[in-house]
Amino acid sequence: MAFSGLAESLTVLSNHLFVSDSSGIIRQIDAASGNVISSFSAGTVGLDGLGTYQSNILALPFNSTSVFVYSSSGVLQTTIALARLPPVDWNGIASDGTSLFVADFDTGLIIKYSTGGTQLGSFDPGIGGLSGIAYDASTDSLWVANGFATASTRGVYQFSKTGTPMSFFLTPGVSPNAGIAVTSGPVSQAPTAVSTLSTWAAVLLGILLAASAALRLRKDPHISR
């Protein structure tokens, strides 16, 4: 069975690719073929944020005040109530194991929360059009995608967890993207030709670098807004 529908976000957990769609389904995907290995419903639409926390999956609907924490098999582990109330337009979530980092499309801010939901601060990456965020354990930093920005600034940007710019690369041909993930090795069953930023990490940009031809997905900026 192949993946169908509109992608909202993606994450990599234990070198396995998980993708959310516009109907609230989270699927584990064979990155080589695009076939669905397993799936579960999060019971909500507009899952614009997928991330990982310890051995679990973080799921964040675009307008939610709560983060839902699932096992990889789809069992709800806990719910984290966020201190900030709507209006919000979340478009990505990541964790370094002790804090949560959430990308807000409307304000362009990266907002930091404790794993208990207390807001700890924020920073403005200054790139606009936020479409995803991922944590890189090898450098203790954040990668932020702005797939909804203009082509001249659209790319993937690396920041420290306090917002200091570190590096970036542009992706003008990716318009728009649907999330970002960082993995320390090849994704399970993925092609060996997945692009790498360096010898330590491969960044999967909006599924388009994670076998877009096989998945046939395109993020629609109006699907959940």
Spatial contact of 181 and 144, defined as CB atoms under 8 Å apart = no
Check residue 162 and give its pLDDT.
96
pLDDT reading at 27 higher than 50: yes
Distance of alpha carbon 66 from the chain centroid: 16
C-alpha closest to that of 180 among 116, 136, 122, 225: 136
Spatial contact of 31 and 210, defined as CB atoms under 8 Å apart = yes
Tell me, yes or no, whether 180 lies in a domain.
yes
* Choice between 215 and 132, residue whose per-residue pLDDT is larger: 132
Rounded to the nearest integer, the mean pLDDT of the chain is 80
Residue with the two structure tokens 């003008």:
172
Q: What is the DSSP string of 17-51?
A: EEEEETTSEEEEE-TTT-BEEEEEE-SSS---EEE
pLDDT reading at 63 higher than 90: no
Tell me, yes or no, whether 225 lies in a domain.
no
Range of the domain at 130: 7-215
C-alpha closest to that of 95 among 135, 37, 67, 132: 135
pLDDT reading at 167 higher than 90: yes
* Choice between 211 and 121, residue whose per-residue pLDDT is larger: 121
Tell me, yes or no, whether 175 lies in a domain.
yes
Tell me, yes or no, whether 67 lies in a domain.
yes
Lowest average pLDDT, out of 15-24, 124-133, 216-225, goes to: 216-225
CATH label of the domain that carries residue 93: 2.120.10.30
> Which pLDDT band, with edges at 50, 70 and 90, does 86 fall under?
low
Check residue 189 and give its pLDDT.
47
Spatial contact of 82 and 70, defined as CB atoms under 8 Å apart = no
Check residue 190 and give its pLDDT.
38
Tell me, yes or no, whether 1 lies in a domain.
no
> Which pLDDT band, with edges at 50, 70 and 90, does 100 fall under?
very high
Tell me, yes or no, whether 186 lies in a domain.
yes
Spatial contact of 90 and 64, defined as CB atoms under 8 Å apart = yes
The CA distance from 197 to 44, in Å, is 34
Tell me, yes or no, whether 99 lies in a domain.
yes
* Residue count (the chain): 225
Report the alpha-carbon angle 97-103-104, nearest 5: 145
Tell me, yes or no, whether 220 lies in a domain.
no
* Number of domains, the chain: 1
> Which pLDDT band, with edges at 50, 70 and 90, does 197 fall under?
very low
C-alpha closest to that of 12 among 205, 171, 145: 205
